[in-house]
């Protein structure tokens, strides 16, 4: 962890995410879960936006906020194409509807087989402060299922 934990803020919808290390500057849309409990993803016709998991906490609140984005589409790279290249200490800035921006420092990046998604790591309570989880697809692409074998999960913590 770099620096001291940032302040915990009240709920506010996030509107933008910036990840300078990988050139991400994207608007955020709200997503939820489907009836099977699977995380919705942003619309494929908008590959440059990322989705905030609305049923969870907002970025800056205590707990882990979850933001998901596509790695690519049939037309090429999407918003989180380079997510797996993030390294500990890289920063993620989330701007909220209340005008506040929260800066998170990356703690780690992992690849997890989709069949054993790390639910507790992503949606669990996390530490005492504000955490962030960024999720996209990764690993091998299966032409038949039109899907990737893994999920890439970035863990980050708000910093002052």
Q: Domains in the chain and their CATH numbers? A: 14-158 (2.40.260.10)
Q: What is the pLDDT of residues 85-143, one digit of tens each?
A: 999 999 999 999 999 999 999 999 999 998 899 999 998 877 788 999 999 999 999 88
Q: pTM of the prediction?
A: 0.93
| Closest residue by Cα to residue 102 from 4, 31, 14, 3 | 14
Determine the Cα–Cα distance for residues 41 and 31; give it in Å rounded to an integer: 6
């Amino acid at each position: 962890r770099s620096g001291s934990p940032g302040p915990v803020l009240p709920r506010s919808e996030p509107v933008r995410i910036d990840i300078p290390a990988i050139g991400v500057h994207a608007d955020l849309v709200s997503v939820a879960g489907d009836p099977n409990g699977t995380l919705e993803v942003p619309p494929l016709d908008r590959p440059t936006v990322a989705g905030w998991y609305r049923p969870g906490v907002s970025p800056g609140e205590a707990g882990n906020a979850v933001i998901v984005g596509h790695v690519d589409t049939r037309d090429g790279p999407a918003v989180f194409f380079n997510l797996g290249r993030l390294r500990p200490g890289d920063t993620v800035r989330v701007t909220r509807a209340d005008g506040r921006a929260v800066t998170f420092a990356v703690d780690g990046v992992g690849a997890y087989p989709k069949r054993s998604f790390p639910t507790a790591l992503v949606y669990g309570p996390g530490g005492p402060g504000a955490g962030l989880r960024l999720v996209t697809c990764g690993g091998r692409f299966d032409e038949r299922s039109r899907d990737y074998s893994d999920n890439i999960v970035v863990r980050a913590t708000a910093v002052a």
